[in-house]
Amino acid sequence: MKKLFVIGNKSSESLSPLIFNYWFKKYKINAKYDFLQPQNKQLNKTVTNTLKDKNVIGLNITIPYKVKIIKLIKNLNKHAKKINAVNCVINKKQPTGINTDWIGYKRSLKGLKIQKSKHIIILGYGGAAQAIHYSFVYMGYSKITVFNRTKKLIQNSKNKTYTKQYNTIHKHLPKADLLINTTPTNPISKKLSKLVRDEAVVSDIVYKPKETKFLKSFKNNKRVFGITMLLNQAAPCFKVWFGFEPKIDKKLIDKLDKKIR
């Protein structure tokens, strides 16, 4: 039996096992997907030992290890190198780290028709945010502002652009056409949320609960739920492991909805 795992410090709460095991059953694949939950000091040992198992064909990497994992995976594809974060590992002779988060977010916006001249604001700058920023750069957007608690150099930015401090966000929110929260909390107060126009699209990559505290602040806005990105980054991972892309069907979506209400 082939084995796959999601690795993170709260991976027991992940819905990835539900998604992948659903697809294995649907397509009659002899495989099992489970979670591993090492703390920071155990990450190196856990990853190394897991990848030694010949039955393990792949890993997903989640919070907070998407950047840290790079030190353990020498071979990266071009997107993972540019993003500087890995969410998927292919375990062959030479384990390879790739990134499908940027694809997942790009697909989650399908149908919204957000023009390339629009203003994008990203809250937080961890591994997932780096992938989301990259997806917009890749698609040709240029008006992207990133806010973070600590000052960080933004990957793939022109002229060494850095993240901005939250104490200046009130100047930027009224201009936002797409506001994306990539943090596990709600970094925007009720007072600040009122600065966002009703015409703006609001997105949260946290998928449980479906309607997060952040999204609850924007009842009048078009909203993009975190579960959409989770599904759309999972399908390309499945493809690199098994050679074809699985269908995201209504039955799977219904199963997930019951878990995240």
Catalytic residues: 66
Helix axes 101-108, 226-242, angle to 10 degrees: 130
